[in-house]
């Protein structure tokens, strides 16, 4: 029975008003054989109206019985069709996906990061399953598996460290510098900075923010993402296929060579210990051979069917690629095997904290956006920073059970 079926129709369907076989009423109006005797115990008949009273009582009993039957049926159906209490991170209706319209990746470089930048210059993270798709329990083998929706996360600040507010951060990664004589090791960051005439690669002391070693690039280069491969630091450049390769062990991070990728633009860069992983301002992850910097595989990054553009600074974290989304306070968690978004990290609270601090120091900059993720797999520590930020923040990632996925998508998919 559908929820819209009137009770009267149910009664009719179940035979209300029909005459039972062998129970034909007599011409005088008395009920069929045996009916009057049964009704004597239920209805008191007025004098001279026993026949009509018996018939009325018979119909009353039938109606009461059918009403009780309908009531029981409705209760049973309501129990079987009542929606179960769903997990807040289970699949939501596709109609609530997102109404945000992302720009096409093609041509985005002309209005991208460097264009506005150049104008402005004149916790232990939880991991998702390796696949973003899962098959619903009880689903037919012929049904297409439904994708799990992204989980929304927030950040809490664990510690704050000084950062050069003049650094236009483009690439950011954690490492350790060890003294060969004593074996003592110190936490450091390798950092790539951008802007024409200000591009550099530097080694930075984590605790103090002091620049330990630095190599400036030629003024024609606009530095972008940075990754360490073996004993080399590889730096991408904006709107060029050129990469700059430095000796990470050298006293002053000397430039070893210039090389070329098969990308027309360079944005983010990281590695998964098998390949370099790069972005070019669009919605694609490119897997590069570290030896010759050519693309061996690529995967489009999607949230449902929606392209996720402007993948900027990258970090490889516990089997996922994490990407800053340019000019937002969002970090996308990406399954590198499928390109599917597994989670959105909302870092607005950290960005706001930095803006308050920078304003008090008189250091606000028009391009001081979130851009920089570093992760230490040995200790499960995570740090974030941004362009021209005065601080590096050690943070913890937590599921935000009160967040709305639709609003997160509206904020993060640009």
**Is 396 exposed, middle or buried (CB count within 10 Å of its CB: 0-12, 13-18, 19+)?**
middle
Beta strands in 103-207 (DSSP E): 133-134, 146-147, 151-162, 169-178, 185-193, 200-205
Beta strands in 183-310 (DSSP E): 185-193, 200-205, 211-216, 223-229, 232-237, 242-247, 255-260, 269-271, 276-278, 284-288, 295-300, 302-303, 306-307
Note the pLDDT of residue 67: 66
Dist. CA 42–CA 38, nearest whole Å? 8
CA angle 121, 104, 324 (to 5 degrees): 55
Q: Are the beta carbons of 272 and 316 closer than 8 angstroms?
A: yes
CA 215 – CA 226 distance, rounded (Å): 13
pLDDT for the residue numbered 364: 79
List of residues 6+ apart from 175 with CB closer than 8 A: 188, 189, 190, 228
Copy the structure tokens of residue 271. Answer: 């590695």
Q: 233: closest CA among 319, 173, 286? A: 173
Cα–Cα distance measured from residue 138 to residue 10, given in angstroms and rounded to the nearest whole number: 31
- Residue 362, pLDDT score: 86
pLDDT, residue 414, reads 85
pLDDT for res 121? 43
For residues 250 and 409, give the distance between their C-alpha atoms in angstroms, rounded to a whole number.
44
Q: What is the pLDDT of residue 12?
A: 35
pLDDT for position 380: 97
Cβ(238)–Cβ(224) under 8 Å?
A: yes
Please, how many CA atoms are within 13 Å of residue 270, restricted to the half-sphere of its CB?
Answer: 24
Structure-block tokens of residue 255: 């430039």
Tens-of-pLDDT digits for all 414 residues of the chain? 444 444 333 333 333 333 333 433 333 333 343 444 443 443 344 444 455 555 555 666 666 766 666 565 555 554 443 333 333 323 333 333 333 333 333 333 334 555 544 444 444 455 444 444 443 444 555 666 677 899 999 999 999 999 999 999 999 999 999 988 888 999 999 999 999 999 999 999 999 999 999 999 999 999 999 999 999 999 999 999 999 999 999 889 999 999 999 999 999 999 999 999 999 999 999 999 999 999 999 999 999 999 999 999 999 999 999 999 999 999 999 999 999 999 999 999 999 999 999 889 888 777 779 999 999 999 999 999 999 999 999 999 999 999 999 999 999 998
Provide the pLDDT for residue 408. 96
Question: Would you call 267 helix, strand, or coil by DSSP?
Answer: coil
Token pair recorded at residue 239:
């709107």
What are the Cα distances from residue 218, in Å, to 172, 195, 232? 20, 11, 19
pLDDT score, position 209: 97
* Per-residue model confidence (pLDDT) at position 296: 97
Site of tokens 């340019």: 326
Residue 179: burial class (beta carbons within 10 Å; 0-12, 13-18, 19+): exposed
């Amino acid at each position: 029975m559908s929820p819209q079926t009137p009770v009267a129709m149910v009664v009719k369907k179940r035979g209300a008003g029909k005459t039972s076989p062998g129970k034909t009423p007599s011409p005088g109006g008395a009920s069929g054989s045996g009916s009057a005797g049964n009704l004597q115990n239920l209805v008191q008949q007025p004098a001279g109206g026993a026949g009509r009273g018996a018939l009325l009582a018979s119909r009353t009993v039938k109606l009461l019985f059918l009403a009780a039957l309908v009531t029981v049926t409705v209760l049973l159906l309501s129990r079987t069709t009542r929606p179960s209490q769903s997990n807040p991170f289970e699949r939501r209706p596709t109609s609530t996906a997102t109404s945000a319209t992302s720009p096409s990746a093609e041509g985005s470089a002309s209005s991208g990061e460097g264009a506005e930048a150049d104008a402005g210059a004149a916790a232990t993270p939880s991991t998702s399953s390796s696949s973003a798709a899962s098959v619903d329990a009880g689903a037919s083998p012929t049904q297409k598996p439904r994708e799990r929706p992204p989980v929304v996360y927030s950040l809490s600040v664990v510690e704050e460290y000084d950062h050069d507010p003049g650094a236009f951060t483009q690439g950011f990664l954690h490492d350790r510098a060890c003294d060969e004589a004593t074996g003592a090791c110190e936490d450091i960051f390798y950092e790539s900075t951008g802007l024409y005439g200000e591009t550099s690669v530097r080694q930075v002391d984590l605790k103090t923010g002091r620049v330990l070693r630095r190599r400036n690039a030629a003024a024609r280069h606009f530095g972008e993402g940075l990754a360490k491969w073996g004993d080399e630091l590889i730096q991408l450049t904006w709107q060029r296929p050129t990469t700059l390769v430095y000796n990470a062990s050298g006293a002053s991070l000397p430039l070893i060579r210039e090389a070329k990728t098969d990308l027309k633009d360079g944005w983010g860069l990281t590695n998964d210990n098998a390949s370099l992983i790069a972005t070019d301002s669009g919605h694609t992850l490119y897997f590069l051979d570290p030896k010759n910097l050519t693309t061996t595989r690529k995967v489009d990054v999607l949230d449902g069917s929606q392209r996720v553009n402007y993948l900027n600074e990258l970090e490889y974290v516990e089997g996922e690629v994490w990407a800053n989304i340019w000019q937002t306070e969002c970090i996308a968690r990406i399954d590198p095997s499928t390109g599917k978004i597994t989670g959105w990290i909302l870092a607005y609270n950290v960005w706001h904290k930095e803006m308050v601090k920078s304003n008090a120091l008189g250091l606000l900059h028009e391009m001081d956006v979130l851009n920089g993720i570093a992760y230490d797999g040995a200790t499960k520590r995570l740090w974030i920073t941004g362009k021209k930020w005065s601080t590096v923040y050690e943070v913890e990632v937590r599921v935000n059970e009160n967040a709305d996925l639709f609003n997160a998508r509206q904020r993060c998919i640009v």
